[in-house]
Amino acid sequence: MSPIEEEIIRKKIAVMIDNLKALEPIMNMTTEDYIEELYKRKATERLLQELIEAAIDVNTYLIVQTGNTIPDDYYESFIKIGELKIISLELAEKLAPSAGLRNRLVHEYDRLEHSIVLDAVRTAENLYPQYVKQIEDYISVNR
C-alpha cells in the first residue's frame, strides 16, 4: 500500500475515532433524556451518519484497491470486506446493518425512532473500535 493510499484510509479512520469520542456521553443517556435534548439528538444522528459513511468509504476504497468491483449497496460493502478477510466476517456481518441506519438517518429524519438511534450509539461504541483496529491491522500488514 502506497503512502498516499494509507493516508486516505487514515483520514477516514480519524473521522471515525473523533465521532466515537463525541458519541461517548450519549451512550449512557436514558431514552427519556435523549428525547428531551433536541440538539444532542441531531448531533448524534449526524455523528452516526458520518461514522458509518467513513467506514463505507474505507470499505469501498479497499475493495477497489484489492481489484474487486464495488458492491451494489453499502450493506454489501461490509460483507465484501469480510469475505476478503480485511476484517473478520463475523464483525462485517454485525456492522452491515449500520448501512441501513445510515440510509434512514439521511432520508427519513421524521420517521426515526429515538430508541433505535440510541441503541445504535451503544452498538457503534462496541463494534466500530473493533473495525478501526482490524483496518489498522490490515494496513500495517499490507504496507
Active site residues: 102, 107
- DSSP 8-state assignment for residue 1: -
Contact by Cβ (8 Å): 74, 56: yes
Question: For residue 81, which of 14, 142, 15, 21 has the smallest C-alpha distance?
Answer: 142
Question: For residue 5, which of 141, 124, 139 has the smallest C-alpha distance?
Answer: 139
C-alpha dist (Å) from residue 106 to 1, 70, 111? 32, 21, 11
